[in-house]
Amino acid sequence: MAIRTIRAEGDEILKKKSREIEQIDDKIKELLEDMLETMHKYNGVGLAAVQVGILKRAIVIDLYDDKGSLKLINPVIIKQKGEQEVEEGCLSFPNKYAQLIRPQEVTVEALDENGKKVKIHGKGLLAQALCHEIDHLDGIVFVDKIIPGTMQYVEPNE
């Protein structure tokens, strides 16, 4: 396992669409582990493969609750319901936060790290994280969707 470099604002790769993963091999499993380790190091809630420079449809999410982390391959939102106004940030946009509208609930189909089909129903923060990370796979970053005038920069605590 290794900490990977997170691609930051202005990096062209963040605007590119990620490709479907055809085969889940040891390299993909290692990528997912590295992504999880990288996300935890920077106290993130989610991370998409494109954020570490890999244009593959893989995401990891951890809400730091008793349910553990999610490793999802080729995730697709198949249903969404309601809306919520949320504050959002992104590891690729350090110290920037803004308000945006996300669905209140989503249902996502994906493959787990063993290639088993899974269906995840997320509400609140989980719905928000799923939408945020799946957007990354389509080359969409949160600043593309913000409510105008809500962007703020927070000084890092050194």
DSSP helix/strand/coil, 12: helix
Helices within the chain (DSSP H only): 26-41, 125-137
- Which residues, at least 6 apart from 108, have a Cβ–Cβ distance to it below 8 Å? 72, 75, 76, 77, 78, 119, 120, 122, 130, 134
- Name the residues annotated as catalytic: 133
Q: What whole-number distance in Å separates Cα of residue 70 and Cα of residue 137?
A: 16
Task: Give the start-end residues of each E strand in 25-156.
Answer: 46-48, 58-62, 69-81, 84-90, 93-102, 105-111, 117-123, 152-153
